[in-house]
Amino acid sequence: MRIIPSGDLGGLGPTEGEPTLCTWHWYYCVPGMALWIVLVLAMAVPRANRTRGVLLILVPVVGVYLVWLGVARFLPFDASENEVFAMLVLSLAVGSASLWLLGHLFADGSWLKTLIGALAVVVGVSFVGTLSFGLGLGGETAQYVFLLSILMAATVLGYALAGWRLRGRCRPLRLVVLLSLGTIATTVAGMFLLFAVWSTFSGEWPGMVVRIVIFVVISGLIIGTCVALISLPFVLVGLRSPLFRPRLLACLRLQSAPENPVPAA
């Protein structure tokens, strides 16, 4: 790319300056390129995913991102703010997809093993997602990684709470409701944790505690609802998939209800 500054300076100087050459690669136009690479690797590397059924995971990922692109056109945000929100949405989508693609690797064993494995996956996606949008290394990046990790951890804990409340029996409608409520509740708790950590590191604890609590609760409910809506299409697709449904049941220690048998993997 060749950039030439120009301007009408009259008799004070030339109308064009010295050209500057800039190397521009095609992948600069693909937001979150590293996230898409992570998704492809999660689909291709595990031997259990080398089947055509794995392509079904692309439906909710692409669907969530396309819905976000449509909604972003009506939001009063500038380009930099839109980029941050795009990073959050795409990271949450790829993080949810990664849980379904890699869940079988830590489904066996104790609850603690499954929970730690799932949290490790989403925290790794959080870090990759933040860096993939060119935010670089620094204090602001650390804040975004922490925020994204909390939201993804809320997704994982939402699944865990839903599995706990289902008491060993998979009922799809109840699973969706419990997952949504659990995700929203853990997101609200995460917002309080985020506020406490930021206040501690900044050394400034604001007054008006009641107003702060109300603000954190309202923002947590709104953000938690958005996170739950991102998780919802993955559940709807996964419950109908012969590949992903057994993984969900194994991770949550559930058995199919008699009217909802598990399809053969």
pLDDT in tens, 126-144: 888 888 776 555 566 778 8
Given a contact cutoff of 8 angstroms between Cβ atoms, the answer to whether 105 and 117 are in contact is yes
220: in domain: yes
Q: Is 76 a member of any domain?
A: yes
Q: Is residue 20 part of a domain?
A: yes
DSSP 263: P
pTM, to two decimals: 0.82
Please tell me the predicted confidence (pLDDT) of residue 27. Answer: 43
pLDDT at 217: 94
Q: How many domains are contained in the chain?
A: 1
Flag whether 146 is in a domain: yes
pLDDT at 15: 67
Let me know if residue 264 belongs to a domain: no
Flag whether 193 is in a domain.
yes
- Looking at residue 10, its pLDDT comes to 64
pLDDT of residue 8: 65
**In 166-263, which ranges are E strands?**
169-170, 255-256
In a domain, 147, yes or no: yes
Quick one: pLDDT at residue 26? 42
Q: Which residues of the chain have pLDDT under 50?
A: 24-29, 259-260, 262, 264-265
3-class DSSP assignment, residue 23: coil
Flag whether 53 is in a domain.
yes
Give the domain extent around 206.
2-256
Tokens of 113: 């093993």
Q: Describe the chain by its helix, strand, coil percentages, rounded to 5.
A: 70, 5, 25
pLDDT at 28: 46
> Which of 100, 198, 87 minimizes the C-alpha distance to 155?
100
